[in-house]
Amino acid sequence: MKKTWLKWAALGTPALIAAGCATYPDQATTRQIAEKMVSEDFSAPMPTLLKRLVQDRSQQICSKIGDAKLTQAEAAEVVELARASIQYPQSGKLVGDWKAGDKLAHDGAGDRIQFGILEKRKENGGLCQNCHALAPGEINVGNVGPSLTGYGLQRGNSEAVAKLTYERIYNGWAYAPCSNMPRLGATGHLTPEQITHMVAYLIDPQSPINRKQ
Amino acid sequence: MPVARSSNVVLAVVCLVSWGAAPTMAQSGDPLAVGRKMLAEDNPGELWIEQGKTLFHQKRGPKSASLEQCNFGLGPGKLDGATTQLPRYFPDTDRVQDLESRLVTCMVQLQGFNHDDLVKRAISPAGSNGSDVEALALYITSRSNGMKMNVSLSHPKEQEMYKVGEYLFFRRSGQTDFACVQCHGAADKRIRLQDLIHMTSKQGVQEVVSTWPAYRGAHFVVRTMQWRLYDCFWQMRLPELKYASETSIALTTYLHYQGNGAVVKVPGFKR
């Protein structure tokens, strides 16, 4: 009996070591090494800009590796954090100027860092065109996100639609936790006023995005 | 392939009907693809190969030495197939290194160049004649043309870099909430009109690992993998990725290992 145990132990120990080596580094070690690298491997003209590399709680949750799924509790936490983040414009008006929104939607610049210089502009572009189809017939549009062509035609321009649209741009994770859509308001990329213009661009019947084809 | 195409068309039609509104170009592919293919057949990047070869054999730097003694993993001066195994662990530096960081090591150690100067000039301005590192990287990679990528994770540090690279590929941060996977995790995606490579598929990642360095049409110069990573972080609004940093090598290890089996064909051609 005792001998058998010894024999198994002798066989098992190397097997366990091999299994341990095969999975090296474990998740915690990987994370530790990676985070240290990120903290050392980037440069910026101002030290405060390095804070962009630091993840907030939601980004940590939303960085699942491979096909790993969010747990229900994680999804709920991201939604809760997103809801709490949403701020509305001081005017209280959620629908701005669609022409300003049109311009923003087609502006992909602002806030990038190159050759030690921060791309400083009066305001950041809205980035929409990079990923979404916009007005009918526009060719130079991306498809990472869903088409927004006819957005207002399909949904109308009620107050409820305006509010939902505003919130989905400000922090879409309140509705679709960890989606690919940047939390444009919550991360500070866009101001609340800019978002009202984008809401107008999406839902105003006069906006080119709602032109009947 | 024709089967996949036709099912895409069916999908596209279904989408057109069900959404009632679809972008004209989204499903019909990249209208610039034809032009790009024509340019790729007469790739100006070829010119950089000769330049890189000359630089490799020339006695240069404060030590007036060539790079003929540089060891890219197969022994001093052995270039054929060397980049198919990169990144890999190098005992002399006790680091996992990609081609470009190894090149910098040799240019500092053998030729006596200043590390910070080299790194500062490694990525050349658009429209310039390119940097020495860019030409050298292309020449050395071209010596693996026609060979299959064969990156190993047998050393624990290689395994570590692979896992860290994977972690980084999915790590979201910054005001755009982007990790690599947000743009490179699905098939047939574009940013505006530019195709995004689907890097979580074998075919996509193999395209990545076999086509850099590449001639970048919009910049009129040869660009390297280090540049590609740097430029992505720029668009993500993150701080500047340091040239040949551990982060860059980790991501490259992650991609290159997954791309094993891909046949190297450089210079690639990018828009």
Q: Residue B173: which of A41, A55, A181 has the nearest Cβ?
A: A55
- Tell me if B138 sits within 8 A of B261, measured CB to CB: no
**Can you give the pLDDT at residue A23?**
74
Residues A97 and A172 in one domain: yes
Among A65, A143, A184, the strongest candidate for a mutation testing the B interface, having the largest count of B CBs within 10 A, is A143
The per-residue pLDDT of chain B, averaged, comes to: 89
- Hey, is A200 helix, strand or coil? helix
Tell me what percent of chain A is helix, strand and coil, each rounded to the nearest 5: 50, 5, 45
Q: Which positions in chain A touch B188 (Cβ < 8 Å)?
A: 143
Are B111 and B65 a contacting pair, CB within 8 Å? yes
Distance CA A99, CA B43 (A): 43
Average pLDDT over residues A3-8: 52
Contacts of B192 in chain A (CB under 8 A): 108, 129-130, 140-142
- The answer to whether residues A36 and A64 belong to one domain is no
A78 assigned to some structural domain: yes
A199 and A101 housed in the same domain:
yes
Task: Say which DSSP state B171 is in.
Answer: -
Asked if A55 and B240 come within 8 Å (Cβ–Cβ), the reply is: no
Q: What is the pTM of this model?
A: 0.88
pLDDT in tens, B224-263: 999 999 999 999 999 999 999 999 999 999 999 999 999 9
Q: What pLDDT shows up at residue A49? A: 97
A39 and B CB contact within 8 Å? no
Residue type, B54: T
DSSP character string of B13-45: HHHHHHHS---TTTTT--TTHHHHHHHHTT-TT
- Indicate whether B5 pLDDT > 80: no
User: B126: distance to nearest CA of chain A, Å?
Assistant: 13
On whether both A29 and A133 belong to a single domain, the answer is no
In a domain, A191, yes or no: yes
* Residue A69 belongs to a domain: yes
**Whether residues A27 and A90 fall in one domain:** no
Residue A211 pLDDT greater than 60, yes or no: yes
The residue ranges of DSSP E strands in B119-243, in sequence order, are: 189-191, 194-196, 214-216, 221-223, 240-241
* pLDDT more than 70, % of chain A: 90
Residue-level pLDDT at A95: 98
Q: Which of residues 2-21 of B touch A (CB under 8 A)?
A: 19-21
Chain A: give the shortest CA distance to residue B178, in Å. Answer: 7
Task: Answer whether residue A8 is part of any domain.
Answer: yes
**Pair B266, B213: CB distance under 8 Å:** yes
One domain for residues A19 and A61 = no
Other beta carbons within 10 angstroms of residue B43's beta carbon come to 17
Share of chain A above pLDDT 90, in %: 87
Angle value at C-alpha B252, between B250 and B253, nearest 5 degrees: 65
Distance from CA of A54 to the nearest CA of B (A): 7
Compute the average pLDDT of residues A30-54: 97
B118 with B110: CB under 8 angstroms?
no
Q: What average pLDDT does chain A have?
A: 92
CATH superfamily entry for domain B33-270: Cytochrome c-like domain (1.10.760.10)
> Do residues A36 and A60 share a domain?
no
Q: Give me the mean pLDDT over the A45-72 stretch.
A: 97
Q: Nearest chain A Cα to B175, which residue?
A: A187
Asked whether residue A115 falls in the same domain as residue A155, the answer is yes
Buried b (16+ CB within 10 A) or exposed e, B149-180: bebebeeebbbbbbbbbbbbbbbbbbbbbbbb
Cα–Cα distance measured from residue B217 to residue B135, given in angstroms and rounded to the nearest whole number? 16
Q: What is the ipTM of this complex?
A: 0.90
Is-cis flag, bond preceding B239, omega within 30? Answer: no
* CA geometry: angle B209, B79, B101, nearest 5 deg: 60
CATH of the domain at A82: 1.10.760.10
Asked whether residue A46 is domain-assigned, the answer is no
Kindly report, residue by residue over A150-205, the tens digit of the pLDDT: 999 999 999 999 999 999 999 999 999 999 999 999 999 999 999 999 999 999 99
E strand or H helix at B245, and its extent? none
Map out the domains of chain B as residue ranges: 33-270
Instruction: Collapse the DSSP code of B268 into the 3-class scheme (helix H, G, I; strand E, B; otherwise coil) and give the result.
Output: strand
Q: Are A37 and A62 part of one and the same domain? A: no
pLDDT at B43: 87
Q: What is the pLDDT of residue A134?
A: 98
Q: Domain range for residue A10? A: 1-41
B176 vs A170, B27, B91, B173, CA distance in Å?
Answer: 12, 26, 39, 7
- Report the number of distinct structural domains present in chain A: 2
Predicted confidence band of residue B83 (pLDDT cuts 50, 70, 90) = very high
**For range A123-147, the mean pLDDT:** 97
Q: Is the pLDDT of residue B20 over 80?
A: no
Percent of chain B scoring above 70 in pLDDT: 85
Quick one: three-class SS letters along A126-150? CCHHHHCCCCCCCCCCCCCCCCCCC
Mean pLDDT of B177-203: 96
Q: Inter-axis angle of helices A27-40 and B246-258, to 10 degrees? A: 130
* A153 lies in the same domain as A78: yes
Span A91-109, pLDDT tens digits: 999 999 999 999 999 999 9
Whether residues A97 and A188 fall in one domain: yes
Q: Is the dihedral angle over the CA atoms A118, A119, A124, A128 positive or is it negative?
A: negative
Shared-domain flag, residues A33 and A67: no
Label the pairing between strands B189-191 and B194-196. antiparallel
Q: Looking at residue B6, what is its pLDDT?
A: 42
Contact across the interface for B22 and A41, Cβ inside 8 Å:
no
Task: Round to whole Å and give the CA distance between A40 and B245.
Answer: 9
